[in-house]
């Protein structure tokens, strides 16, 4: 299970830092490997989205098997269209594999901000809870599913996300 702190789960990448990084391609390769590692982790994963999840932060949450969003604050959003930054092919493959085509189209062409209720309706999030219950709800969900056979879970994920795996370096 992952979570953030305060009003943010993750606002994604620090674009100013990335623009000045000596090896932005190497950093992006590492980010892709992290996203794919979470996507294909051999156990059930849960994102406890305690606040805003934007851009790569939204992708990080989406890479988890399940997402519990805070019901009273925070948005899930892919704002790349407004930033003038198309997602990398690996990032696009990841969100394509996890979201319905309708939701993906709406999210990436409009940069729509989904609150917890809208994210539930769009099948981005699986549950929503008040702030004090986000982490306990995510922990309970993870605990409930922790006994699943990890070898079988890993095989299922390898099969479901084979297209994403083929796009990720190393």
Distances (CA, A) of 142 to 27, 76, 108, 123: 30, 21, 29, 18
CA-CA distance, 158 to 170, in Å (whole number)?
A: 15
Listed in sequence order, the DSSP H helices in 3-67 are 15-20, 24-39, 56-63
Active site residue 80: yes
Q: Which residue has the tokens 């299970």?
A: 1
Whether 100 contacts 92, CB under 8 Å: no
Buried b or exposed e, range 85-96, using 16+ CB within 10 angstroms: eebbebbbbbbe
Q: Which of 5, 80, 106, 133 is catalytic?
A: 80
Q: Which are the catalytic amino acids? A: 80
């Amino acid at each position: 299970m992952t979570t953030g702190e305060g009003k943010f789960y993750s606002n994604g990448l620090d674009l100013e830092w990335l623009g000045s990084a000596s090896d932005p391609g190497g950093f992006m390769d590492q980010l892709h490997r992290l996203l794919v590692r979470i996507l294909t982790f051999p156990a059930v994963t849960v994102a406890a989205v305690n606040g805003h999840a934007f851009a790569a932060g939204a992708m990080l949450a989406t890479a988890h098997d399940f997402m519990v969003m805070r019901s009273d604050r925070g948005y899930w959003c892919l704002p790349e269209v407004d930033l003038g930054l198309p997602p990398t092919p690996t990032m696009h493959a990841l969100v394509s594999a996890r979201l319905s085509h309708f939701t993906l189209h709406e999210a990436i062409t409009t940069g729509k901000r989904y609150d917890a209720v809208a994210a539930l309706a769009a099948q981005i999030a699986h549950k929503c809870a008040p702030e004090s219950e986000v982490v306990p709800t995510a922990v309970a969900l993870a605990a409930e599913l922790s006994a699943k056979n990890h070898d079988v879970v890993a095989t299922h994920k390898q099969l479901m996300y084979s297209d994403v795996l083929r796009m990720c370096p190393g």
